[in-house]
């Protein structure tokens, strides 16, 4: 699938973004020690049903895989995307790492 939008990691706002004409599609996250929790996905209403959310999630998963970061897909949309595309299962954290004291 061809990427139509440029993924931006807006670390200040703790979210990945696609800048769209008239809005921002985003995946919010929480960074933890050694992994990332993807908490929420949002696409502006006028872009719903056009595949923007799936394109965004795929771009985010490509980025975290490239950075060798594991994720916890807390967002139901992202969890469902991974369920439907099992080739992304390797980026899902299977066990929370022990805290270093």
Mean pLDDT rounded to a whole number for the chain: 92
Long-range contacts of 91-96 (CB under 8 A, 24+ apart): 91/61, 91/64, 91/65, 93/35, 94/70, 96/35
Counting every residue, how long is the chain? Answer: 101
**Tens-of-pLDDT digits for all 101 residues of the chain?**
456 899 999 999 999 999 998 899 999 999 998 899 999 999 999 999 999 999 999 999 999 999 999 999 999 999 999 999 999 999 999 876 666 66
Please give the pLDDT value at position 31.
95
Which residues touch 86 (CB under 8 Å, ≥6 apart)? none
Structure tokens at 58: 């795929």
**Domains in the chain, please, with CATH?**
7-91 (3.40.630.30)
* Burial class of residue 56 (count of CB atoms within 10 Å of its CB; 0-12, 13-18, 19+): buried
């Amino acid at each position: 699938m061809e990427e139509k939008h440029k993924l931006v990691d807006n670390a200040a706002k703790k979210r990945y973004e696609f800048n769209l004409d008239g809005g921002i599609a985003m995946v919010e996250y929480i960074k933890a020690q050694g992994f990332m929790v993807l908490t929420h996905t949002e696409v502006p209403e006028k872009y719903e049903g056009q595949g923007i959310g799936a394109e965004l999630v795929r771009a985010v998963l490509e980025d975290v895989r490239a950075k060798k970061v594991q994720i916890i897909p807390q967002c139901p949309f992202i969890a469902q995307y991974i369920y439907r595309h099992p080739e992304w299962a390797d980026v899902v954290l299977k066990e929370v790492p022990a805290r270093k004291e």
